[in-house]
Chain A
Amino acid sequence: MTSDNRPVATALSRRTFLRRMFRRETILGWLFVMPALAMYAVFVLVPAVLSLRYSFFRWNGIGDMRWVGLQNYLTVLEVPDLLGTIFNAFRLVIFFSFIPVSLGLVVASIIHRVATGKFGSISRTVIFLPQVIPLVAAGIIWCWLLALPGLVNQILRSIGLGAYAIAWLGDFDWALPAVGLIGIWVMLGFCCVVLLTAIANVDPSLYESARIDGASWFAEFFNITIPMLRHEIGVLLTVTVIAALAAFDIIYVSTAGGPGNSTSVPGVQIYILAFTEQRIGLASALSVMLMVLVLIVVIPIQRLSREEAS
């Protein structure tokens, strides 16, 4: 790196020295990478490849493995309960990703416009709280809130809508949106805080001149906030979509996929197939489909937000 700018006086000896040094640096550099790479390879990449391998076999985890080709994949596509998990995952994207990001945009822009002082920073901290607790805890808390005697129904009764009170997580139609509500509760603060910081980095003169012109909140929101935050919105969509497709903790503790299979998602179904039904091959086929699915969904979002940002 530095050799080109050096005086030529001791060029020969120095150059051979530097070259040897450079080679040593390469070796040393690779040695530096090795521990991280080895751990990553053994406990992440190898299992990922093993998933692919298992997916071509019928195996109960103990006995002999029997080659079945693509049969496991066909089974996932043919059995409605299995294919349904993938549809459910996409429905969850609405609740774990689209709603928190859009609501986060609205809340962040409100904080930015009307609550720049202490009130704003308190509300930021409060809204962020659910992000630091374990997702399992969020699931358990909401299990109780959404139960028949829980807070949600108590509020409905107090405003005269008691007739609509149900056990939300036990209802075939409402269980998925109810689980989605938990996702909104957890994700909102994260989205909001990321967007708030991004707004703070937008050139303030944009907002000032808009306000001098008497721009409304709506005008400001659609003409400044959204266009200026495209990159962050893209990043948030990526992170939250991965979280939605890979969801496990919240659903496992709140509904375990039920009632029926109305809230079953790939993560939970893989767990049940592998560890209670001992159908390793089928579980692995679903695992591979989940990994591919995440890649298929995430790469375009990344590409889009990169292009727009540049």
Chain B
Amino acid sequence: MKIGRGELLAGRLILLAMMAFTLMPFISIFVTGLHPSNTLPSGLEWPAEPQWGNFVEAFRQAHMTNLLISSTYLVIAVVPISLIISTMAAFAIGLLRIPGARVLLFLFVFGLTLPFGGIIVPLYYLERWMGIYNTRIAIVLPLIALYMPFAVFWMRAHFINMPTEISEAARVDGANTWDLLWKIHLPLARAPVTSLGILMSVWTWNQFLLALVLVENPDERTMAGALGAFQGHYATDVPLLCAGTILILLPTLIVFVLFQRQIIAALLQGAVKG
């Protein structure tokens, strides 16, 4: 390898600068969150007396306990159902190759390009008409539906790469289609199903537009949706807003650190398959 020392140094300096660019915002709001409530500190300034109580106050004011329960409820309601129905559909499209599979695939792929903003207005009136507006179901059902294009596409990419010998061998042993999916192929699909589950959990937790439009009560929204409401209330109290933001970020950051490898792998495959 012929890489000069100067270049090595320059390269690493650039990387350090990029890391600083990424981390500074987090550090800045953390430090600001420690300043006395209702003051206006400058961007990066360690307070004379760090107000750790701000975090407690923000926890209370933002109804954090409610939010955690509400967001967890949404994830539990959305993710397992999405996983099951998208896997079944992808199995039929990618492995059974039922007649019409190409058309179905095309229909789902079309959904990948659809901006949420494009359908949010009719969705609002549709849900009013169905009588589910302003309940948690109002977020759950459209989210499941909006994940279908990606989820079906993702699982199909797995099933289509499965060697046909596996299915044939199982058939010879007398497995019917139902067994083929649940006993043979599902255990083999554990990795892509896990990645997809993690991805959809993060997306649900972070979903903002649907929560904002379809549920009026911030306590029944997603974490991100509630953060929007919290900002509206505390726009003038910068330290408290910063403390609240940190609290709302914390769960996703912790999950990311714990499942870093899976999350990155999932997003990667997702992007490249797309």
With contacts A28-B177, A132-B253 taken as known, whether A43 is within 8 angstroms of B29 at the C-beta atoms is no
Residues of A within 8 A of B115 (CB): 242, 245-246, 267, 290-291, 294
B122 contacts A39, C-beta separation under 8 Å? no
Residues of B within 8 A of A142 (CB): 25
Q: A133 within 8 Å of B by Cβ?
A: yes
A48 to B145, CA, bound (A): 13
A114 contacts B3, C-beta separation under 8 Å? yes
- Which of B42, B44, B121, B171 is A54 in contact with, Cβ under 8 Å? B121
Per DSSP, chain B at the interface is helix
A178 to chain B, nearest CB (A): 13
Q: A263 within 8 Å of B by Cβ?
A: no
Contact with B along A128-153 (1 / 0, CB 8 A): 11111111110011101100011111
Q: A113 within 8 Å of B by Cβ?
A: yes
B41 to chain A, nearest CB (A): 7
Contact with A along B147-187 (1 / 0, CB 8 A): 01101100000000000100110011000011001000000
With contacts A43-B146, A123-B19 taken as known, whether A287 is within 8 angstroms of B14 at the C-beta atoms is no
Q: A72 within 8 Å of B by Cβ?
A: no
B39 to chain A, nearest CB (A): 10
Q: B7 within 8 Å of A by Cβ?
A: yes
- Which of A30, A51, A140, A287 is B231 in contact with, Cβ under 8 Å? A140
Residues of B within 8 A of A238 (CB): 274
Residues of A within 8 A of B190 (CB): none
A36 contacts B43, C-beta separation under 8 Å? no
A197 to B120, CA, bound (A): 35
Contact with B along A217-253 (1 / 0, CB 8 A): 1000000000000001001101100100110110011
Residues of B within 8 A of A149 (CB): 40-43
A140 contacts B227, C-beta separation under 8 Å? yes
Contact with A along B80-121 (1 / 0, CB 8 A): 000001101101110010111000100110010111111111
Contact with B along A7-32 (1 / 0, CB 8 A): 00000000000000000111011101
A90 to B26, CA, bound (A): 29
Q: B67 within 8 Å of A by Cβ?
A: no
B1 contacts A211, C-beta separation under 8 Å? yes
With contacts A47-B119, A47-B126, A298-B113 taken as known, whether A33 is within 8 angstroms of B98 at the C-beta atoms is yes
B18 contacts A44, C-beta separation under 8 Å? no
Taking residues whose C-beta sits less than 8 angstroms from the other chain, chain B's interface range is 35 or more
Which of A73-81, A169-177, A187-195 is near enough to bind chain B?
A187-195
A35 to B171, CA, bound (A): 25
Q: A83 within 8 Å of B by Cβ?
A: no
- Which of B1, B178, B252, B271 is A132 in contact with, Cβ under 8 Å? B252
Residues of A within 8 A of B245 (CB): 137, 140-141
B180, closest chain A residue (CB)? A25
Segment 231-262 of B: residues with Cβ below 8 Å from A: 231, 238, 241-242, 245, 248-249, 252-253, 255-256, 260
Highest count of chain B CB atoms <10 Å: which of A2, A140, A150, A295: A140
Q: A266 within 8 Å of B by Cβ?
A: yes
Contacts across chains A and B counted by CB atoms under 8 Å: 308
A134 to B151, CA, bound (A): 20
A119 contacts B119, C-beta separation under 8 Å? no
Q: B68 within 8 Å of A by Cβ?
A: no
Q: A94 within 8 Å of B by Cβ?
A: no
Q: A56 within 8 Å of B by Cβ?
A: no
B203 to chain A, nearest CB (A): 10
A307 to B149, CA, bound (A): 24
Q: A102 within 8 Å of B by Cβ?
A: no
A45 to B118, CA, bound (A): 11
A29 contacts B145, C-beta separation under 8 Å? no
With contacts A114-B8, A141-B29, A270-B117 taken as known, whether A50 is within 8 angstroms of B2 at the C-beta atoms is no
Q: A283 within 8 Å of B by Cβ?
A: yes
B168 contacts A1, C-beta separation under 8 Å? yes
Q: A82 within 8 Å of B by Cβ?
A: no
Highest count of chain B CB atoms <10 Å: which of A32, A217, A270: A32
With contacts A51-B122, A119-B15, A291-B114 taken as known, whether A32 is within 8 angstroms of B43 at the C-beta atoms is no
5 contacts between A and B (CB under 8 A): A114-B15, A135-B224, A141-B29, A242-B115, A246-B117
